[in-house]
Amino acid sequence: MLRILNQIEEKFLVLNLLISTVIVFINVVLRYVFSASLHWVDEAARYMFIWLIWIGADFALREGKHLRIDMLVNRFRGRFRVYIEILVLTLWFCFCVFFGYQGVKLVSIVVQQGQLSTAMQISMGWAYACIPLGGIFMALRLIFEIREILRTGKIKQEEAAVQ
């Protein structure tokens, strides 16, 4: 399941970045060469960038690239360090679940109110849907990471720091 999630996530991020870059480039050419532009491109690029950030946060978690302040945690070794890491990941998991839940509530409110985007006239639910998805994806990934630590007794960040 994790491998499928990784593939979908990577393809989505690459495709999202490619499409947003192409449409912004085309709009720049239209604006400065032909003195005309597509009114929906700026809004579409903005929402695509927001999706890129939220889904990219899960990708950063997968790669171990989230910003961490681990000066205190790195002073510990052995089992105690593993316990602290599990505690930190569990707290992060709880935050992601809370974020996903609140994101679902936000999306449902926006959809019920029938809010539409200004230029494209699409439901704002699509723009906000990245919030619960990002939270849920990160929560799932954190479950797999906690499970791996419990199974092996090794911390991924510790191994990366040694190399």
Task: Supply the pTM of this predicted model.
Answer: 0.85
Paired tokens of 142: 């954190």
From first to last of its 163 residues, the chain has per-residue pLDDT tens of 778 889 999 999 999 999 999 999 999 999 999 999 999 999 999 999 999 999 999 999 998 888 877 777 788 888 899 999 999 999 999 999 999 999 999 999 999 999 999 999 999 999 999 999 999 999 999 999 999 999 998 887 655 454 4
Query: What are the domain boundaries of the chain?
Result: 2-162
Paired tokens of 137: 């994806």
CB-hemisphere CA count at 13 Å for 62? 16
pLDDT number for residue 158: 55
pLDDT number for residue 157: 63
